[in-house]
Structure 1
Amino acid sequence: MKPLLRTPSFTPNDLTVFCNTDAAWRSDLMAAGMGWIITDRYGHEISRDTASQLNVTSACMAEALAIREALIHASTQHITHICLRTDSQVLARAISKRRRPTELYGILSDIDSLTSSPSSPFLECNVVFTPRSRNGPADLLSKSCLANFIMGLRP
């Protein structure tokens, strides 16, 4: 199994890209909008994308789904060194310490497989907490995605 560096403080190398993720969740509809933005070490945008999903039972689950989708997207971009930034301290801690709360067990198992299985496209993956104030663009992207998704659900 490939080693996986998951520390709150690390030194990025020339290959490291950064991926800010966020999710917006509507409890009444059990719907989530997810967004992520991938940048190089200088802050220049490489790519961005969104996804939406129904039957999401919590805000934390929505955040975990956003990370999983961002990793899948990054793998299609041939990224090998990634630092995921999330504004969910609970989730960053759960991923870093490989703790899997019952509600998130499947999603966190998927994330673990994407980042540390022998067939993983990632040579290095860090998951760090970023304050909400520094995650604004990903937050706006996820909220916009959710709003558009909800509009599409209405007859």
Structure 2
Amino acid sequence: MGWLFVDESGQTLTTRSSAEASVASPLVAEAISIRSALNHALDIGITDLHLKSDAQALVRALNMQKQIKEIYGILFDI
């Protein structure tokens, strides 16, 4: 998984990637990636951000505060 933080002018601030073993599904992988990116943002002092993802089901769950059993704990963390 990987993510990057870009400022308002389009300048890349930082990038990060990591690997996760034995992920149950693409949805779980996307949720773990978002949680990791948000934790990274907090670690480096970013508190205001716009999250972009192509994981439509996950974005919908986050926006509507919908619970998905498969990723319930990760959604709670996010």
TM-score interval for Structure 1 and Structure 2 normalised by the shorter chain: over 0.9
Q: 1:65 aligns with which of 15, 32, 46?
A: 32
Moved over 6 A (4+): none
Give SS of 1:106's match.
helix
Report the AA paired with residue 72 of structure 1: N
Higher relative contact order (CA 8 A, sep 6+): 1
Tell me the alpha carbon deviations over residues 76-110 of structure 1, each in whole angstroms, 9 at most, x when there is no partner: 11012111100111111101111121001011011
- Aligned-residue CA RMSD (Å): 0.7
**TM-score of the aligned structures, taking structure 2 as reference length:** 0.95
Distance, in Å, in 1 between the alignment partners of 2:64 and 2:54 is 17
Match of 2:46 in 1: 79
- Percent identity between the aligned chains? 40
Higher strand fraction: Structure 1 or Structure 2? 1
The structure whose Rg is larger is 1
Give SS of 1:75's match.
helix
**TM-score of the aligned structures, taking structure 1 as reference length:** 0.49
Correspondences of 1:137-148 after superposition (within 5 Å): none
Report the AA paired with residue 97 of structure 1: M
Q: Which runs of 5+ in 1 are unaligned?
A: 1-33, 112-155
Give SS of 2:35's match.
helix
The count of aligned residue pairs is: 78
Q: Which runs of 5+ in 2 are unaligned?
A: none
